[in-house]
Chains A and B, each alone.
Chain A
Amino acid sequence: MTRAVAKPLLIALAVLALLAALAAAAVVALNLRGEAAIPDDAAPVQDATPGQVERGRYLALAGNCAGCHTARGGADYAGGVGIDTPFGTVVASNLTPDDATGIGRWSPAHFWRAMHHGRSKDGRLLYPAFPYPSYTRVTREDSDAIYAYLRTLPPVARPNDAHRLRFPYGTQAALAVWRAASFRPAPFTPDPAKPAEWNRGAYLVGGLGHCIACHGSRDGLGATEEWRGLAGGTIPGQGWYAPALNAPHEAGVADWPIDDIVALLRTGTAPRGSVTGPMAEVVYRSTQHLSDEDLRAMALFLRELPPAETASPTPPARRDAGLMARGAKIYDQQCAYCHGDQGQGAPGAYPPLAGNRAVNMATTTNLVQIVRRGGFLPATEGNPRPYGMPPFGHVLDDDEIAAVLSYIRGAWGNTGAELGRREVMQR
């Protein structure tokens, strides 16, 4: 190699190194933006009032913290639930005030930094499976209340399990780049043109409620696409679709009475719909425990969501007569007993299938899940003894599930397209 070639190469390398250093500095700066330094001697605080602790207990329910931080049959808030993502499994941490394994040594400032900035006490960046892109809107006052409540829990010595993420997603550097591109800490900003009740609803839905974690879409790097709003999304790793809350043909409630929206969130069932799958858990563990005022505020906000500009679906031009006939036969044998021979259902017990938008929705994964696995509505104070549907996964094979769902989506004036074995086999 001659000097004449080496010199430009060296310059190019130096420029590249400089650019890399600048990019790294930018990523670091973007990750730390808005953060106030926490003093080294920041210590746990135990001076909460009973009112603050009770407020924190309530807010932890509003955020369904236990949904991830309490394992089935495990101690309250001791962590251990694995959250499946396209990048691997993130394991929820121990939130009990155990010094060694929980948040016993955290100060309120550390807790706030986790909620608002997505950084742990030891400085590590947190994975957004912990929905801090939503929790960043939670006020310092509410964060302190949740902290105060968590400190009253019995400490549980349960070491946190390591996340199981594929390379490079398991590295802090990759997470830092993701955060620089996709996360910006920001407080909730009320809309002065809207009434206080609407703003309360917006705060709960967009903050602790983290509804967008399921009801929103995600980009290729797994970030919720805030700009699309609550436009529906496939729940990573669960095989359920969380329908759009801003679309009349999915789960929009713009034309529901406020009382019905409140009833759905409080009891799991309402005159025009009921909750299944992951939403049954949300009602069971979170919204059924909320105050009437907060549920009404959420209902008001949801009802006034700007409607999505999507055309209402049109029925397919033609249907496969053989498939419809096979489906009709299965329907009569297996489904009509409860859902009625005209898909009319039975009020209070079995949902109608005729004209049911959950039946006609473009995405059919929920229907397949319901047929295969059955289920009960959540047992709530307002609906303590729900009726149930058997799992048909043992009774019907994939072709039969496709046939009966195609029939249900085409009968009685329904508008859903037929589905094939391929849709049923997707899990």
Chain B
Amino acid sequence: MAENQGLLHVHAFTRFARRTLRPLALMLAAAGGPALAQAPVPDTMAQRMAACIACHGREGAATNAGYFPRLAGKPAGYLYNQLLSFRDGRRFQSDMTHLVAHLSDAYLREIAEYFAGLDLPYPRVPTATDASPDTLARGRALALEGDAARGIPACVQCHGAQLTGVLPAIPGLLGLPRLYLASQMGAWLTDKRHAPAPDCMAEIGRRLSNADIHAVASWLAIQPMPADPKPAASLPAPLPMRCSAETP
């Protein structure tokens, strides 16, 4: 689990798994487990992607508790790039690298498009946080204004004015667990998460401090989803730096 920052996160996984996945599996079994297994297996992507449910939630809708990120509705180009990165040694979550190790480009593209195409309601975003008002203010400033003196662009400059991502390949930042957000930024800081060059977030990640990461992750994790949670069609202005996400 190189992308996680410590044992704490692994324990959080386990707690999450026990609380959330068990009932989910029970629900699936009750809904049509044995009966479904007798019937022919549906020749659908939903059925093929049942392997993803255990962590990412039913149909990749996830929850905002725990760690695992939501997949549903993320830009297809972003999801595809991440699947390639898990397979090709740029991202290192051990379950993911194992699952996609022997999947073809074509299938990974289809998987990305399947999850991108899901239009599911978001679970309610938590409003409670243990972050101090000062921390939240710092996180808000980083997200909306950046820190020009340290060469840190605002999140909104690339991830969309609503922070719901931008087509085709820039992910939204809302509706994600703080643990996940913080560990991804930590992975850039510690050189454990990569994208093809130019790897814009690796560059920005190296400029962040632990306090920055805590602040911006805390603020992002409690922002309500806007009325339209879909990724923006395009950016109003060019990206502030070169980024491989522009050409997925």
Contacts and interface: CB of A to CB of B under 8 A. Distances in A.
Interface size class of A (residues with CB under 8 A): 35 or more
A384 B99 contact: no
Interface size class of B (residues with CB under 8 A): 35 or more
Chain B interface, >50% SS class: helix
A247 to B, nearest CB: 26
A395 B14 CA distance: 7
B89 interface: yes
Interface string A352-391: 0000000000000000000001111111000011111111
B53 to A, nearest CB: 6
B55 interface: yes
A391 B99 contact: yes
B22 A385 contact: no
Nearest to B33: A337
A332 interface: yes
Contacts of B104: 379, 384
A379 to B, nearest CB: 4
B34 interface: yes
A377 B100 CA distance: 10
B51 A376 contact: yes
Contacts of A72: 87-89
B110 A385 contact: yes
Given A341-B33, A346-B41, A387-B41, A395 B89 contact: no
Contact of A395 (B29, B48, B54): B54
A346 B107 CA distance: 21
Interface in A235-288: 280-281, 283-284
B239 interface: no
Contact of B107 (A345, A373, A379): A379
Interface string A303-346: 00000000000000000000000000000111011111100111
Interface of A: 71-74, 280-281, 283-284, 332-334, 336-341, 344-346, 348-350, 373-379, 384-395
Q: Give the 3 A-B CB pairs with smallest separation, nearest first.
A: A388-B51, A73-B88, A390-B54
Given A379-B103, A384-B104, 14 more contacts: A284-B101, A338-B37, A346-B40, A349-B41, A378-B102, A385-B48, A386-B103, A387-B51, A388-B51, A389-B51, A390-B54, A394-B54, A395-B22, A395-B54
